[in-house]
Structure 1
Amino acid sequence: MGSIKRLIEKEVRGVHVNSLEIGSSVSEDTENGFLMPVNKQIDIACQALAKDSKLQSGYNAIGFSQGGQFLRAIAQRCPNPPMKNLISVGGQHQGVYGFPRCPGDNATLCDYVRKLLNLGAYVGLVQAEYWHDPLNEKEYKAKSIFLADLNQENKRNATEKANLLKLQNFVLVKFLDDGMVDPRDSEWFGFYKPGQSKELYTLFDSPLYTEDWLGLKEMNATGRLHFLASPGDHLQFTQQWFIDNIVNNFLK
């Protein structure tokens, strides 16, 4: 994040960049990113943004990997200060089903590990924050403590929808050769069709879009929903790609 901060400061004259840190040090921030409940992280980030005097008239937000859906939670729940553009770089907006780098040519092994993960994903101390089991959508919706609520799969929240619709632009970046996120289409709100883990649906096929639970259909109709593709693996982009596609189009 330090290199990204310096790059933006170099390219956008006079910009103020607040690199959110959940904790009092880099190591604590890294640990909290994995172990602290997401909803608590969101609360801490909202408080930090509210205290930053330079952001009060509005700010642009960029989230990398899980930061993409975490910042969307901030847009939906914390409208002050106002978020202008939300840029999700490799965020998993429909969650993940699998484990990173599962051997692509070993479907049996991948499915077996998924079943083992399913056993622990919704019980005990394991935080079911954006694990999404397409083989058991009912349990996912009932026991998810973050993503199902964020995507309004159990009940609709008109306030959160209205807050998200205040965005000037919502940018979704998918990595075309992503070996970390399964399925990578989650980065564009796609996912496995219910009941299996082979066939995929797109955002446009989902009730989240057709029934417009979050306002994405309205956002798309007004030209404010953007789908960008980057070659390469998870978060593996060049500085020039970032400048050409993100900085020049949405930050300057």
Structure 2
Amino acid sequence: MKILFILLCVIKLISGTPTPIVLWHGMGDTCCLSFSLGGIKVFLEKNIPGVYVNSLKVGNSSIEDLENGYFMNPNQQVEYVCGLLAADPQLKDGFNAIGFSQGSQFLRAVVQRCGHILPKIKNLISLGGQHQGVYGLPHCGALMHPTCDYIRQLLNYAAYENWVQNALVQATYWHDPLDDETYIHKSIFLSDINNEIMANKTYIQNLNNLDHLVLVKFDNDTIVQPRETEWFGYYEPGQSKKLLPLRETKIYTEDRLGLKKMDKEGKLILLSTVGDHLRFSDTWFIDNILKPYLLN
């Protein structure tokens, strides 16, 4: 197996420069520090010789980047990143994209909103993304507990207040299944990119232009509630106990994003791995993500 992998890398080097990779980190994480996505960047560069990796920094420093993951309106973040990607000459021939946790739905928004004006986005890989939102916040990444508790209380009681939506990133993908109508009309981000207010044909076309949409669910995730959201599953509207798998949700049955079409064409890939949120082994990543989707 290792020999085959080395041969694939050699073939890729002979055939040309590897496809660049764009990374977007999750809540409580940063673009560039070695214990964060900086370490993932080094790992990819080691295992795909010659690859260009752009680990997105939203802001002027790693500290700003971390803070913006909590407090910068996602619509502004997506617009900012669209500009960064359009201006990056290393991406002119196309790229693959990997989102980590909330970075997954943010990168999906980039694809849907800007895909037609960006170079070809080949594969979008979502690692633990919250594509139908969340209804619970057990942990808050790097935040200390008092702040975490404050954020949790805001989300429980005031998630759809306009000032909370605009001040707290996590509120923009808070999805209360007990009040679906309020979520649909008050969410300033998620209900839009999920085409729940109106059908944006550009969103559908851009998403369907991907070679693959790879959704990774973490089977023992204790951070994302419900973990089925990582595969576009969610609670049946009106209650918070019964969970609908992807293919029984309206977003799929009504094909609001073209996911049913992608599924039939083999473009929608559902993967799972044991472990907590974003916990995976190097071997699993190489075998299930790197070899099939990044050596292209």
TM-score normalised according to structure 2 size: 0.79
Contact 1:42 1:73 in 2 (8 A): yes
In structure 2, how many angstroms separate the alpha carbons of the residues matched to 1:9 and 1:212? 37
Structure 2: runs of 5 or more not aligned: 1-36, 141-150, 166-170
Q: Which residue of 2 aligns with 1:122?
A: 160
Separation in structure 2 between the aligned mates of residue 195 and residue 207 of structure 1, nearest angstrom: 14
Structure 2 counterpart of 1:56, one-letter code: K
Question: AA paired with 2:155?
Answer: L
Q: Which runs of 5+ in 1 are unaligned?
A: 103-112
Q: 2:287 maps to what in 1?
A: 244
Cα displacement (A) at 1:98: 1.1
Counterpart amino acid of 2:273? Answer: S
Shift of 1:241: 1.2
Give 1:125-136 correspondences, 5 Å limit.
125-127=163-165, 128-136=171-179
Amino acid at match of 1:175: F
Q: How many residues align?
A: 242
Is 1:142 the counterpart of 2:178? The answer is no
Q: Is the 8 A contact 1:65 1:92 kept in 2?
A: yes
The alignment partner of 1:23 has SS state of coil
Alignment of 1:167-246 (within 5 A): 167-246=210-289
Q: Deviations over 1:95-139 (max 9, x none)?
A: 00012259xxxxxxxxxx988733210114212310000000010
User: Which portions of structure 1, spanning 4 or more consecutive aligned residues, are displaced by more than 4 angstroms?
Assistant: 113-116
| AA of the residue aligned to 1:25 | S
Q: Note the alpha carbon deviations across 1:142-192, whole angstroms, 9 max, x for none.
A: 100000000001100011100111000000000000000000000000011
* 72, 87, 110: which one aligns with 1:51: 87
Tell me the SS of whatever aligns to 1:72.
helix
Structure 2: which amino acid aligns with 1:144? S
Identity among equivalent pairs (%): 55
For residues 185-211 of structure 1, what are the alpha-carbon distances to aligned partners after superposition, in whole Å with 9 as ceiling and x for unaligned? 000000111111111001100121112
How far apart, in 2, do the equivalents of 1:114 and 1:46 lie?
30
Residue by residue over 1:20-79, the C-alpha shift from the partner in whole angstroms, topping out at 9 and shown as x without a partner, is 100111111000011000000001110110011011111000000000000000110111
**80, 83, 88: which one aligns with 2:121:** 83
Contact (CA 8 Å) 2:234, 2:249: kept in 1 or not? no
How far apart, in 2, do the equivalents of 1:117 and 1:2 lie?
Answer: 30
Task: Report deviation, 1:227.
Answer: 0.5
- Would the aligned equivalents of 1:173 and 1:227 in 2 still touch at CA under 8 Å? yes
Work out whether residues 221 and 275 of structure 2, in 8 Å CA contact, stay in contact via their aligned partners in 1. Answer: yes
Distance change >3 Å, CA 124–CA 222, structure 1 → 2 = closer
